[in-house]
Amino acid sequence: MPATGDDRVIVMAWESSYNAPWDLLNNGYQIINASWTPTYLTGGYGGLIHPGSTVGKRFALKDIYRWNKDIFMHWEPGRPVFEDRGPMDPNLDDGEWSAEWIGKDDQIHGGQMLYWEQYECSVLHFLMPRIPILAERLWNPKSDHSFAEFQDRVAVAQQKTLPVLQPIEISPVAKDPSHPVVSLYQPYEGEQIEVTLRNRTKLDGQIRYSTGRWSGQLNSPNFHPVPNPDTMYDGPLTARGPFSVRAELVRGDPEPVDGHSWQFYNNWPNRVEVTEYNIGRRTPRKVPDLAALPDSKLLRKYEMPYLRGLMQNVAVRGQLTRTDLIAPASGKHTLELRTQSGHATLYFDQNQNGEFEGSEILIQDSPNDESGQKAEVILKQGERYRIRVDHATGMPRPVLILSIAGPDGKRTEISKYLQLPR
């Protein structure tokens, strides 16, 4: 394919595997930077997720803010950029390469955001916070504003753009937008919630809405597509359990104003405590004792309604999960642990003394092929047993599934028997 001339080919360089960006540039090609990290955006809000899946790739907003059109990054071991194989790379352990290092940045025309595998309802949910950052990094790459300062400016701008893009505000929303489940739904506490719809615009009109159904099970939520709005809003909505809301603004003529709003809600109680650690860029062959890592490796803590692998597979992490198993029956039970791409170690406080001893490691360094590793324990119905799972996640699928089979031999995913540790 010609790199120059009237019939030249401009390459959108994304995978960085078969044609590394430095090879394309050195062969004269002009490039549009479509670096997988951090410009890819996959997986939808309010979509189906099963225990072995993630909710797509959505890189942190800060990662976009430190990127520009000349920088290529990758998340997966084995890719040339991840392995730092590019020429003149001053840091051979960061998975990044810049065209500036070989003086070829003038061949890169710009960049783009790659938006895949999405639902209609997730478009603005995920693009709104990212497009302003992408625009800033492409049009104003030498800006010296901090990320926090830039976000303050974005917040002011969004107050002006939201009425145009989504005329109806649906509230409440989660207090912590970075929580993993917010990729799927807005969590709430209690048996029911009151949802309020508000006209953000200065236009006169009425609000029309519809609600959507839900199916699935714990660790596998599935919100059905929400039908077109068909009910006029006359006050706050009260709903229970998992549900969804879709709303639009209708003028007096009575044409709807372009732009729908969606929210998905779920009140599953939290059952596990999760602590994430930095364990390096590559999955270790042996799972480290995550509880023994120093505070300097701590990334964040949060609670989840089910035990599973990371919701986002954008980097290797140490995932320490603590929870209490409430024994569903008395007698011999079989625990089965499965991992893919990474490895995990299962601790079980059989003697119920609140500590994990060496003899209470039931499964150590599970293989990364999702083959089930089993261990037997004797339980007394209704008793509380502490569980800990140390998970060294891997790429591309940080799957972590823990199942339990009772005396009757029936196996089920364990989350419904779990409670937050006391």
User: Each residue of 284-298: pLDDT tens digit?
Assistant: 999 999 999 999 999
Strands 30-33 vs 40-42: parallel, antiparallel or unpaired: unpaired
Q: Both tokens of residue 284?
A: 């270790």
Predicted confidence (pLDDT) per residue in 61-76, tens digit = 999 999 999 999 998 8
Say if CB 11 and CB 17 are below 8 A apart: no
Task: Determine the average pLDDT of the residues in 177-192.
Answer: 89
Task: Determine the average pLDDT of the residues in 200-217.
Answer: 90
Distance CA 176, CA 46 (A): 17
* Beta carbons within 8 Å of 218's beta carbon, 6+ residues apart: 268, 305, 306, 413, 415, 416
Distance CA 361, CA 359 (A): 6
Q: Highest mean pLDDT: which of 6-15, 118-127, 401-410?
A: 401-410
Q: Which of 155, 98, 94 is nearest to 128 (CA)?
A: 155
pLDDT for 295 equals 97
In degrees rounded to 5, what are phi and psi of residue 59? -80, 155
DSSP 79-110: STTTTT-STT-S-TTSSEEEGGGGT-GGGEEE
Collapsed DSSP state (helix, strand, coil) of residue 2: coil
In degrees rounded to 5, what are phi and psi of residue 124? -70, -30
Distance CA 275, CA 271 (A): 14
pLDDT for 15 equals 66
pLDDT for 213 equals 87
In degrees rounded to 5, what are phi and psi of residue 31? -130, 145
Say if CB 33 and CB 72 are below 8 A apart: yes
Q: Is the pLDDT of residue 99 over 90?
A: yes
Predicted confidence (pLDDT) per residue in 297-325, tens digit = 999 999 999 999 988 788 999 999 999 99
pLDDT for 395 equals 87
Distance CA 329, CA 140 (A): 62
- Grade residue 138 by pLDDT with cuts at 50, 70 and 90: very high
Other CB atoms within 10 Å distance of the CB of residue 388: 20
Task: Determine the average pLDDT of the residues in 318-341.
Answer: 97
What is the 8-class DSSP label of residue 282?
S
Burial of residue 184 (CB within 10 Å: 0-12, 13-18, 19+) is: buried
At position 328, the amino acid (one-letter code) is P
- Grade residue 49 by pLDDT with cuts at 50, 70 and 90: low
Say if CB 256 and CB 208 are below 8 A apart: yes
Q: Is the pLDDT of residue 23 over 90?
A: yes
pLDDT for 215 equals 79
- Grade residue 45 by pLDDT with cuts at 50, 70 and 90: low
In degrees rounded to 5, what are phi and psi of residue 50? -105, 170
Distance CA 98, CA 25 (A): 11
Q: Is the pLDDT of residue 260 over 90?
A: yes
Q: Is the pLDDT of residue 42 over 90?
A: no
Q: How many CA atoms lie within 13 A of 319 on its CB side?
A: 27
Predicted confidence (pLDDT) per residue in 356-410, tens digit = 888 899 999 999 998 999 999 999 999 999 999 999 999 888 899 999 999 999 9
Q: ∠ at Cα 216 (46, 43), nearest 5°?
A: 30
On average, the pLDDT of the chain sits at 91
Map tokens 């639009």 to a residue: 248
**For the whole model, what pTM was predicted?**
0.92
